[in-house]
A = this chain, B = another copy of it.
Amino acid sequence: MDTPWLDRRQLRAWIRLRAVLELLPGALDAQLRRDSDITEFEYFVLAVLSEAPERTLRMTELAARTNATLPRLSHVVTRMERRELVERFPCPEDRRATNARLARTGWDTLRRAAPGHVATVRHNVIDTLTDEQVDQLADIGDALLARLDPAGTMSAIYTRHDRPDGEEPDPGRGSADGA
């Protein structure tokens, strides 16, 4: 356990990363709560569901893709169900399992929330970086996730199907916006 201390340059990077870790989630959350009355996590749940076939996913799978524990997800979905953002129904093939499906209200909420959320992400992240830095950030993210999420459960979601859109769940294409 004789790990060397961090040198100045490493420390510089770490301190900044730590600060971002502390501040950014709050900023994103605040905007969504204020403008759409949902959590960033709830937004993410809606987004993930909206990407799934039939807009339906088993709880376990949904938990994995959102990096939630099952208990946490269960609680969250219970609340979301109350607001009719999602629906829960037993899985026909496996009677232990439960499916979560994006409800109409959830889809609408997501669509309405998306633009503001994207704007916030742009404002706080993307637009503050050069194009080069954006790519560097992606590579750095890959490196970190190799440790944090070896299975790639979190990041694979959107990159899997190779589309120009992703986290932002597509309102803007498809039936919306009359594009």
Is there an interface contact between A16 and B148, defined as CB atoms closer than 8 Å?
no
Is there an interface contact between A134 and B13, defined as CB atoms closer than 8 Å?
yes
CB-defined contacts of A11 to chain B, threshold 8 Å: 158, 164-168
Q: Mark A148-168, 1 if CB is under 8 A from B, else 0.
A: 110000110111000011111
Chain A residues 1 to 42 lying within 8 A of chain B, measured CB to CB, are 1, 3, 5-25, 27
Interface centre among A116, A129, A146, by most chain B C-beta atoms within 10 angstroms, is A129
CA distance A124 to B14 in the complex (A): 11
A123 is an interface residue with CB less than 8 A from chain B:
yes
Is there an interface contact between A141 and B5, defined as CB atoms closer than 8 Å?
no
Is there an interface contact between B20 and A141, defined as CB atoms closer than 8 Å?
yes
Q: How many copies does the complex hold?
A: 2
In the complex where A133-B136, A136-B136 touch, is A14 in contact with B167 (Cβ < 8 A)?
A: yes
CA distance A88 to B80 in the complex (A): 42
CB-defined contacts of A155 to chain B, threshold 8 Å: 15-16, 19
A137 is an interface residue with CB less than 8 A from chain B:
yes
Is there an interface contact between A145 and B17, defined as CB atoms closer than 8 Å?
no
A79 is an interface residue with CB less than 8 A from chain B:
no
Chain A residues 61 to 82 lying within 8 A of chain B, measured CB to CB, are 67
Q: Mark A110-143, 1 if CB is under 8 A from B, else 0.
A: 0000011011011111101101011111111111
Is there an interface contact between B25 and A142, defined as CB atoms closer than 8 Å?
no
In the complex where A19-B145, A137-B140 touch, is A164 in contact with B7 (Cβ < 8 A)?
A: yes
A172 is an interface residue with CB less than 8 A from chain B:
yes
**Chain B residue, CB-CB nearest to A136:** B136
CB-defined contacts of A10 to chain B, threshold 8 Å: 126, 134
Is there an interface contact between A167 and B134, defined as CB atoms closer than 8 Å?
no
